[in-house]
Amino acid sequence: RVGSATSLSSAIINTRLQELVKLFKERTEKVKEKLTDPDATSDDESPTTSPAKPAPAAAPVPPPAGEPEGDKPAGDEHYCEMLCCTFKYRPWLDHLKNYQFPSSIDPLTNLMYVLWLFFVVMAWNWNCWLIPVRWAFPYQTPANIHCWLVVDYLCDLIYLLDILVFQTRLQFVRGGDIITDKKAMKENYLRSQRFKMDVVCLLPLDFFYFKVGINPLLRFPRCLKYMAFFEFNNRLEAILSKAYIYRVIRTTAYLLYSLHVNSCLYYWASAYEGLGSTTWVYDGEGNSYIRCYYWAVKTLITIGGLPDPKTLFEIVFQLLNYFTGVFAFSVMIGQMRDVVGAATAGQTYYRSCMDSTIKYMNFYKIPKTVQNRVKTWYEYTWHSQGMLDELELLVQLPDKMRLDIAIDVNYNIVSKVALFQGCDRQMIFDMLKRLRSVVYLPNDYVCKKGEIGREMYIIQAGQVQVLGGPDGKTVLVTLKAGSVFGEISLLAAGGGNRRTANVVAHGFANLFILDKKDLNEILVHYPESQKLLRKKAKKMLKTGNKPKDEKGGPGDPLIIPPKADTPKLFQAALAATGRMGGKGPLAQLRWRLKELKAMQA
């Protein structure tokens, strides 16, 4: 019994040691793969935490009311206990309570500052539009004066908060450095022209109300806060995707405001002369603002059909209106033309390129089928990209910004290519800047069987089909967006390997192309990555990482073509001749075979 127990324990120990040796070997292989390819994900499972032993003195905590045993609230849920009940509350209330106003504000990128400028501009528009109305028309009465004053002082409060809270926290650039110091930002604002205009805007002329009454003209300095309006325009246009729409609305508002001011002046002139005193002045019937606005439109746009002025005051007023109308209307038309021209500049460039290309094809009598394909390419490229050549846009940017854009657009796709995994990260970045975007039309050949491969293709959008078979038209596989093909061609020696199948665009396809020449220029600066790529390319070729239609197709040329295996019976005869030491024909053949094997080796 003692002997059997000893043998059993030794067998268990041997089995355990074999398992440990096997695990060590597997771990060694994985470490080797990780060192060869650092970007490869590990197949090891995440370590499981051992269950913690409960403290002996800990008492079990009962779950909240209405919650089953064993269920615990998720980590992102928050509960509030009150009396015997548990209530769920939103975490944004905590964020709101703990929110701290920023000590410095970036005026170029901070959306909160743009939102605040919107409120400042609304207060500025209230003063600009309604001060003339309250001064000219009898809309401000003792019955509603308190409503006007409440809104007026609310606008004044917005002006004051803008000076004390926001403008003193705006960052600025001095000597190339972004200044965020509180004292420096405050001093910069106090020395600026903006501060002087803001102080003039808030002159307390309202104290004259006690002497001359509530006259809206005493609030006219509030209209001098125009710098906030122009700053808001610049910030809003920078964040809008279609800024020309806002420019059209703003130019239209300029025209409407000029008509608004003219209508107020006409009512004031009519009240000065006496309502209904002559045929030229407003007769006091109907809605006074609408009728005066109609008269201002006819005057500024010089439509005509107005009654002739009678008195000298009316003649001078009408002449000034005509001169101002012609000047203002021409300026508005010019601005509107510039806005529309800027909005359609890209479309105009596209049409001019299309017209020039069509004129060229008609001059050389290009077939209609080719012309139609060229037109289709123009249409699809313009509608899919919004431009004909992306390089025209990127060439204006600094090299660092071009790299940032290339990383955002292409890095996720290129980093998934097995050939480039484990390479130097900076080499990948340099390669991203060399990618070219090409659009292929339906049934266009991306590459043809037998041609030398010098490019790698990355599918950005659309699909391509790999064709093969005896007739060369059988669809072997369909590659979709994110797929890569032709990567082995970049590293093949001897002028490049030949394509083994036809690749055709199935519908419209947007592809990124990396040229072999560009990659070689990059690899000069990264010798370690070059060695790794060569090694991976050889490994991928050995493991058959090529299309299945490669059998019998033209491949990389070999110096000595492979020889068929020697029949087994003939090998046995040659071996017997060698043992016997014969000198006949078989011995000579055996000697020749040895020479051929040595040459192949």
Within a domain: residue 495?
A: yes
Q: What is d(CA 263, CA 257) in angstroms, rounded to the nearest whole number? A: 10
Distances (CA, A) of 237 to 121, 228, 230, 248, 255: 15, 14, 11, 12, 20
Look at residues 301, 298, 296, 305 and name the one whose alpha carbon lies nearest to residue 270. Answer: 296
pLDDT of residue 579: 56
The CATH number linked to 355 is 1.10.287
Q: Which of 388, 415, 450 is the last residue of a domain?
A: 388
90-147 tens-digit pLDDT: 566 666 677 778 889 999 889 999 999 999 999 999 999 999 999 999 999 999 999 9
Q: What is the phi/psi pair of residue 299, to 5°? A: -80, -50
User: Same domain for 383 and 406?
Assistant: no
Cα dihedral sign for 191, 197, 200, 201?
negative
Residue 368 and residue 251 share a domain = yes
The long-range contacts involving 95-98, CB below 8 angstroms and separated by at least 24 positions, are: none
Q: Judge whether 24 lies within some domain.
A: no
Alpha carbons within 13 A on the beta-carbon side of 191: 7
Q: What is the DSSP letter of 40?
A: S
Rounded Cα–Cα distance for residues 442 and 377 (Å): 10
Q: What is the mean pLDDT of residues 272-295?
A: 90
Please say whether the beta carbons of 457 and 512 come within 8 A: yes
Q: How far apart are CA 309 and CA 446, in angstroms?
A: 78
User: Within a 10 A sphere around the Cβ of 532, how many other Cβ atoms?
Assistant: 19
The answer on pLDDT for 557 being more than 80 is no
Does 261 share its domain with 211? no
Name, in order, each residue with C-beta under 8 angstroms of 401's C-beta and a sequence gap of 6 or more: none
Structure tokens at 326: 């012609």
Asked whether residue 46 carries a pLDDT value surpassing 50, the answer given is no
Q: Are residues 175 and 223 in the same domain?
A: yes
CA distance 543 to 90: 56
Would residue 304 be called left, alpha or beta, if left means φ above 0 and alpha means ψ between -120 and 50 degrees?
left
Q: Is residue 3 part of a domain?
A: no
Mapping DSSP to helix (H, G, I), strand (E, B) and coil, where does residue 508 land? strand
Domain span including residue 183: 101-239
Distance CA 475, CA 501 (A): 10
Q: Are strands 455-468 and 436-440 parallel, antiparallel or unpaired?
A: unpaired
Same domain? For 316 and 283 the reply is yes
Phi, psi of 79 (to 5 degrees): -125, 150
| Residue range 260-272, pLDDT digits in tens | 999 999 999 999 9
Establish how many alpha carbons lie within 13 A of residue 173's alpha carbon, considering only the half-sphere containing its beta carbon.
Answer: 4
Tell me, yes or no, whether 576 lies in a domain: no
In our burial notation (b when 16+ CB lie closer than 10 A, e otherwise), range 450-470 reads eeebbbbbbbbebbbbbbbee
Q: Is the same domain home to 278 and 370?
A: yes
Same domain, residue pair 440 and 420? yes
The Cα 335–Cα 322 span in angstroms is: 20
Flag whether the pTM goes above 0.75.
no
Contacts 24+ apart (CB under 8 A), 131-135: 131/216, 131/217, 131/219, 131/220, 131/222, 131/223, 132/260, 132/261, 132/264, 133/260, 133/264, 133/289, 134/216, 135/215, 135/216, 135/217, 135/264, 135/268
Choosing from 494, 513, 545, the residue where a domain stops is 545
Q: Do 353 and 473 lie in a common domain?
A: no
Report the pLDDT averaged over residues 579-584: 58
Cβ atoms of 208 and 218 within 8 Å: the answer is yes
Which residue, 334, 367, 388, sits at the end of a domain?
388
Q: Is residue 554 part of a domain?
A: no
Q: Do 366 and 500 lie in a common domain?
A: no
Residues 113 and 232 reside in one and the same domain: yes
The tokens of 25 are what? 């070997």
At residue 61, the pLDDT reads 44
3-state secondary structure of 497: coil
In a domain, 90, yes or no: no
Residue 180 has pLDDT above 60, yes or no: yes
Give the pLDDT confidence of 470-514 residue by residue, as tens digits: 887 888 899 988 788 887 777 665 555 778 788 999 888 888 888
Residue 249: its pLDDT value, please? Answer: 92
Looking at the structure of the chain, the number of domains it has is: 3
- Mean pLDDT: which of 71-75, 103-107, 423-427 is highest? 103-107
In a domain, 468, yes or no: yes
Q: Residue 478's domain is classified under what CATH number?
A: 2.60.120.10
Q: Indicate if the pLDDT at residue 290 is higher than 60.
A: yes
234 in the same domain as 261: no
Residue 130 counted as domain residue: yes
For 383: left if phi > 0, alpha if psi spans -120 to 50, otherwise beta; the answer is alpha
Predicted confidence at residue 558, as pLDDT, reads 38
479/527 same-domain check: yes
